[in-house]
């Protein structure tokens, strides 16, 4: 029996419509306007042709886990006017490439990366939009494999981002922890987001929820859900699990 993470049979258009319906239904169930939740299509391991097909259906925001793949697709599809996001961990020596294609960095989790991104953006004469990535922990504590900063350190890092004129703090991003129901974890994230907004009123966005748990994330206040499998279908086993 298919679960919510399984894409419906048929075309990419069918999958796109089904995901958008799930988002709308979840928003209404939470007493929210469906337009308050954005869909970020996670296109890691997918072809540029698949991205272009989804873009032709109206999707404008796409995400990648790896800098090399993000830059390659951004350059190949530059004429489509898409907005790119990096949701995977970023090494400081790749900051120039990410800033160069105007990508949003959703995985900022340390001061050294803030400093590097700010320096690159300042020299380029641009403003780079970022999210602070939160590690929501779980039964085993901090999950280093997924990246992110321990929750108690997030406000300080948000302050560091806000102090840099070449960076714009959009909000927080997180992945639900392994081995725990996502709802309570997303509720903790929402509380942390409220705390950050008190100090930084412009940091209104919350990027949380993927193919299997977007409903719980929206119930907790997510403004962006990151969906890959439910749009494009299962990835090859070698690529690992993903949004």
In a domain, 24, yes or no: yes
pLDDT at 10: 61
Asked if the model's pLDDT at residue 176 lies above 90, the reply is yes
Tens of pLDDT, residues 120-172: 999 999 999 999 999 998 545 555 556 799 999 999 999 999 999 999 999 99
pLDDT at 243: 66
| Percent of the residues in the chain that have a pLDDT greater than 70, as a whole number | 89
pLDDT at 241: 43
In a domain, 4, yes or no: no
Q: What is the 3-state secondary structure (H, E, C) of the chain?
A: CCCCCCCCCCCHHHHHHHHHHHHHHHHHHCCCCHHHCEEEEECCCCCHHHHHHHHHCCCCEEEECCHHHHHHHHHHCHHHCCEEEECCCCCHHHHHHHHHCCCEEEEECCHHHHHHHHHHHHHHCCCEEEEEEEECCCCCCCCHHHCCEEHHHHHHHHHHHHCCCCEEEEEEEEECCCCCCHHHHHHHHHHHHHHHHHHCCCCCEEECCCCCCHHHHHHCCCCEEEECHHHHCCCCHHHCCCC
pLDDT at 235: 74
Q: What is the 3-state secondary structure (H, E, C) of 97-161?
A: HHHHCCCEEEEECCHHHHHHHHHHHHHHCCCEEEEEEEECCCCCCCCHHHCCEEHHHHHHHHHHH
Asked if the model's pLDDT at residue 238 lies above 50, the reply is no
Tens of pLDDT, residues 198-227: 999 999 999 999 999 999 999 999 999 999
Domain count, the chain: 1
In a domain, 1, yes or no: no
- Mean predicted confidence (pLDDT) in 187-205: 97
In a domain, 239, yes or no: no
Report the alpha-carbon distance of residue 157 to residue 35 in Å, rounded. 29
Domain that holds residue 209: 12-232
Asked if the model's pLDDT at residue 90 lies above 50, the reply is yes
pLDDT at 3: 41
- Mean predicted confidence (pLDDT) in 41-53: 97
Residue 107: which pLDDT band, with cuts at 50, 70 and 90?
A: very high
Asked if the model's pLDDT at residue 8 lies above 70, the reply is no
Most confident residue range from 116-120, 148-152, 180-184: 116-120
Supply the Cα-derived Rg of the chain in whole angstroms: 17
pLDDT at 6: 43
Residue 179: which pLDDT band, with cuts at 50, 70 and 90?
A: confident
pLDDT at 5: 44
pLDDT at 142: 53
Asked if the model's pLDDT at residue 9 lies above 50, the reply is no
| CATH at 54 | 3.20.20.10
In a domain, 100, yes or no: yes
pTM summary value: 0.90
Number of Cβ within 10 Å of residue 30's Cβ equals: 16
- Mean predicted confidence (pLDDT) in 222-242: 79
In a domain, 240, yes or no: no
In a domain, 17, yes or no: yes
pLDDT at 7: 43
- Mean predicted confidence (pLDDT) in 96-103: 97
């Amino acid at each position: 029996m298919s679960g919510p993470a399984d894409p419906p049979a048929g075309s990419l258009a069918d999958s796109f419509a089904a995901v958008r319906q799930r988002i709308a239904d979840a928003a209404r169930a939470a007493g929210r306007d469906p337009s308050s939740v954005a869909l970020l299509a996670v296109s890691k391991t997918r072809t540029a042709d698949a991205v272009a097909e989804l873009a032709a259906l109206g999707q404008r925001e796409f995400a990648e886990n790896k800098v090399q793949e993000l830059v390659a697709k951004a350059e190949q599809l530059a004429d489509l006017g898409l907005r790119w996001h990096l949701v995977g961990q970023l090494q400081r020596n790749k900051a120039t490439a990410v800033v160069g294609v105007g990508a949003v960095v959703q995985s900022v989790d340390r001061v050294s990366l803030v400093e590097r991104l700010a320096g690159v953006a300042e020299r380029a004469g641009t403003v780079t939009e970022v999210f602070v990535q939160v590690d929501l922990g779980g039964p085993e504590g901090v999950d280093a494999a997924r990246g992110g900063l321990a929750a108690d350190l997030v406000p300080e890092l948000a302050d560091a981002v806000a102090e840099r004129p070449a960076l714009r703090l959009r909000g927080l991003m997180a992945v639900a922890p392994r081995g725990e129901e996502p709802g309570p974890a997303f509720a903790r994230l929402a509380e942390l987001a409220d705390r950050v907004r008190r100090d930084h009123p412009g940091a209104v966005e919350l990027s949380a929820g993927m193919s299997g748990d977007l409903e719980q994330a929206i119930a907790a206040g997510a403004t962006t859900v990151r969906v890959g499998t439910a749009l494009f279908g299962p990835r090859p086993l070698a690529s690992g699990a993903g949004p």
